[in-house]
Amino acid sequence: MPLPAAVIMQELKAAVQPWRGSLTYLDYGSQRLVTLPTQLNGMQSAPRELVLDFICQEAEGGQVKGHDKLRFPPTAAKSSGMARPCR
């Protein structure tokens, strides 16, 4: 029996709140770690679907924008924590 969308969104309540923090990655050209201020917003785009939009501020003043969409299978158990990114 599939779980209702409300159960999934209750479990992911923190993910749909605006978040500000930083993203750190390895620049393979310089072999140095780079940290960018980052803003993340999440929203439910459909039942069992979550969209995460992000904006990263580059040191030179530019912005990098992107998004990821997660779909949750209707048979996912509450305790499984399973989600698949959509690409």
pLDDT at 2: 56
Asked whether residue 27 carries a pLDDT value surpassing 70, the answer given is: yes
Asked whether residue 38 carries a pLDDT value surpassing 80, the answer given is: yes
| Structure confidence at residue 56 as a pLDDT band (50, 70, 90) | very high
What DSSP letter does each residue of the chain carry, written as one string? -PPPHHHHHHHTGGGGS-EEEEEEEEETTTTEEEEEEEEEEEEEEETTEEEEEEEEE-TTS-EEEEEEEEE--TT--TTT---EEE-
Q: Which domain holds residue 74?
A: 5-86
Q: pTM to 2 decimals?
A: 0.61
pLDDT at 68: 92
- Number of domains within the chain: 1
| Structure confidence at residue 9 as a pLDDT band (50, 70, 90) | low
Asked whether residue 11 carries a pLDDT value surpassing 70, the answer given is: no
pLDDT at 53: 92
Whole-angstrom distance between the N-terminal and C-terminal Cα of the chain? 27
